[in-house]
């Protein structure tokens, strides 16, 4: 197993301390681990390209780790914060992630080319807003309600971007 794949898998395992530490009110430590996990999303691709270790398995592992990481945090936050806006955003984002994963697997099974399913710039912006919103939510219990509302806004905006991104992928892949 190479370093990029280890980084991808670590993102899934880092969910445990993020949630555990948050539940025991170590909000900043939880956020710190969340930031480390988020950075692995960048580093796995960077090291794969730098060390010429890119592979179809690695690309799929990275996508899987991203989906598991974000979806798990969203579902957990839905129950933890009891916010209707987080629930709606979670449903939108998780359903989009399932849909896009299915479409990617279908396209790869038809064409065998991973290059056809790479994320575009909108997908990268969507991920940025998701990570900012999720990270801000992790420290929102010790900050003002305005900060919590900004976090909700970021997550909801990322949910809307998710569906816009899905529409762009559908147009690109199906038409």
Within 82-144, where are the H helices?
84-111, 121-139
Neighbours of 15 (CB within 10 A): 17
Q: Characterize 72-99 residue by residue with b for buried, 16 or more Cβ atoms within 10 angstroms of its Cβ, and e for exposed.
A: bbbbbbbeebebebbbebbebbbebbee
Q: Which of 10-14, 42-46, 136-140, 160-164 has the lowest mean pLDDT?
A: 42-46
User: What is the spatial distance between Cα 47 and Cα 64, in angstroms, rounded to a whole number?
Assistant: 18
The pTM assigned to this predicted structure is 0.90
Cβ pair 130, 152 in contact under 8 A: no
pLDDT > 90? residue 149: yes
Q: What is the pLDDT of residues 37-84, one digit of tens each?
A: 999 988 988 888 888 888 878 888 888 899 999 999 999 999 999 899
CA gap 62, 6 in Å, rounded? 10
* Tokens matching residue 16: 């445990």
Q: Are 116 and 173 in contact (CB under 8 A)?
A: yes
- Cα gap 21→54, rounded to integer Å: 34
Counting residues of the chain whose pLDDT is more than 70, the rounded percentage is: 94
Is 3.40.50.740 the CATH number for 3-174? Answer: no
pLDDT digits (tens, 9 = 90+) for 85-134: 999 999 999 999 998 888 877 777 777 565 656 677 888 899 899 999 99
Give pLDDT, residue 175: 62
């Amino acid at each position: 197993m190479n370093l990029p794949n280890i980084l991808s898998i670590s993102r899934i395992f880092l969910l445990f301390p993020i949630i555990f530490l948050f539940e025991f009110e170590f909000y900043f430590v939880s956020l710190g681990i969340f930031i480390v996990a988020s950075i692995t999303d960048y580093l796995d691709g960077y090291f794969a390209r730098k060390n010429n270790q890119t592979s179809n398995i690695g690309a799929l592992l990275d996508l899987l780790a991203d989906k598991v990481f974000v979806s798990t945090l969203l579902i957990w936050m839905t129950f933890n914060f009891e916010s209707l806006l987080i629930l709606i955003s979670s449903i939108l984002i998780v359903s989009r992630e399932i849909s896009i994963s299915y479409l990617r697997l279908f396209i790869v099974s038809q064409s065998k080319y991973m290059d056809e399913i790479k994320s575009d710039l909108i997908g990268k912006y969507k991920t940025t807003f998701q990570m900012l919103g999720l990270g801000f939510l992790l420290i929102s219990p010790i900050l003002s309600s305005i900060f919590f509302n900004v976090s909700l806004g970021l997550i909801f905006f990322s949910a809307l971007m998710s569906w816009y991104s899905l529409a762009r992928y559908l147009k690109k892949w199906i038409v």
